[in-house]
Amino acid sequence: MPPTTPNPANPPLPKAELHLHIEGTLEPELAFALAERNGVTLPYATEDALRRAYSFSDLQSFLNLYYALMAVLRTENDFADLAHAYLARAQAQGVRHAEIFFDPQAHTSRGVPLGTVVEGLTRALDTAGERYGITTRLIMCFLRDQSAESALATFEAARPYLDRITAVGLDSAEVGHPPSKFKEVYALAREAGLKCVAHAGEEGPPAYVWEALDVLGVDRVDHGVRCLEDPELVARLVADQVPLTVCPLSNVRLRVIDTMADHPLPAMLDAGLLVTVNSDDPAYFGGYADDNFTAVRDALDLDEETLRTLACNSFRASFLDEATREAYLKEVEAHGRG
Ligand code: HPA
Ligand code: ZN
């Protein structure tokens, strides 16, 4: 989709984006430009033909395309260009802080060194404050459908870059790959001073959310919408105020939820869960951060105060230092109050 043009008369709410896969921001235009630059042939003749493939039946049907298109990402410049394109769109959508996932194994398995990925991304992220007014963090994800040994090898290979990495995460095909499979690598990450997050309860059962909490010791749960099937789990998440990074447009596109009007976001807020709204893979799911806010506002009839609560939650759930968090929370409070 084209970048949203900011409307100075009605700027979007300031917000943090905490669930965003940088590889999921690869728009068709950039995919074709990078394919040409790198001499890669895509299995689609045109951008329109590619866009027509964006119709998913479940998480795996999306992941197949997501991994296939990564073939165009080869050099430091490619990763820097990808991150710049995201940051420009995020800025137009009111994003003031972004905690960005990347999938090292999806690149190293294609012969792209981890250093190329990290150097390219950080080259762009290092300019984000000055160029886009956005603070950033990087979160390195392990692919849960790969082995525990592969995750451990990835973590060891990343040791030289840990000063640029804030947290580890867990993504890719969920069902059949419970969090407990990655207990050892999460223990190492925590020992190294990293924060921990994990996708759980998107397609997988509430038991996977319990494992993310009790076996991996996560600081946040990504998605987590299926927690609602287990009242004891909801009580635990509420008591500990464990943030959930919910992705509404993703949930509808991947058929986790039937329609936006059925989304359990209001029920989650009513239950006292610390819910945030995020875009996941915006190039594939039809919208960036503020597009997700607008989609839930319109379909679920959310009022301004609820949207403000969601924006505040996003900063509360972030890994920001307290002073920066407080400054952003003040921005939210001041927004639209003249
Ligand atoms: N779930 C799991 N893995 C992913 C996702 C997701 O929503 N997006 C990119 N990788
Ligand atoms: Zn995700």
List domains and CATH numbers for the chain.
15-318 (3.20.20.140)
Sequence-distant (6+) residues with CB within 8 A of 92 are: 3, 4, 5, 6, 12, 288
pLDDT by residue, tens only, the chain of 338 residues: 445 555 666 899 999 999 999 999 999 999 999 999 999 999 999 999 999 999 999 999 999 999 999 999 999 999 999 999 999 999 999 999 999 999 999 999 999 999 999 999 999 999 999 999 999 999 999 999 999 999 999 999 999 999 999 999 999 999 999 999 999 999 999 999 999 999 999 999 999 999 999 999 999 999 999 999 999 999 999 999 999 999 999 999 999 999 999 999 999 999 999 999 999 999 999 999 999 999 999 999 999 999 999 999 999 999 999 999 999 999 999 998 87
Q: Quick check: CB of 278 below 6 Å from ligand 1?
A: no
What is the arrangement of strands in the sheet containing 275-277, beginning at the earlier edge strand? 15-21, 95-102, 135-143, 167-171, 195-200, 220-223, 244-246, 275-277
Cα separation, 275 vs 245, in Å, equals 6
| Whether 151 contacts 109, CB under 8 Å | no
Q: Report residue 124 as tokens.
A: 């762009």
Cα separation, 234 vs 238, in Å, equals 6
Amino acid at 57: S
| Residue of minimum CA distance from atom 4 in ligand 1 | 172
| Residue of minimum CA distance from atom 2 in ligand 1 | 172
Q: Quick check: CB of 59 below 6 Å from ligand 1?
A: yes
Q: Quick check: CB of 172 below 6 Å from ligand 1?
A: yes
- The residues facing 277 across adjacent strands are 246
Ligand 1 centre from 126 Cα, in Å? 25
Sequence-distant (6+) residues with CB within 8 A of 285 are: 24, 247, 249, 250, 253, 254, 279
Q: Quick check: CB of 222 below 6 Å from ligand 1?
A: no
Q: Using the atom order of ligand 1, give the atom closest to the CA of residue 250.
A: 7
Ligand 2 centre from 21 Cα, in Å? 6
Q: Quick check: CB of 23 below 6 Å from ligand 1?
A: no
Q: Report residue 161 as tokens.
A: 């870059």
Residue list, CB under 5 A from ion ligand 2: 280
* Pocket mutation for ligand 1, best pick of 18, 19, 21, 86 (most atoms within 8 Å of C-beta): 21
Ligand 1 centre from 107 Cα, in Å? 16
202 is catalytic: yes
Q: Report residue 227 as tokens.
A: 């927690």
- Closest-CA residue to 103 (of 58, 138, 76): 138
Q: Quick check: CB of 177 below 6 Å from ligand 1?
A: no
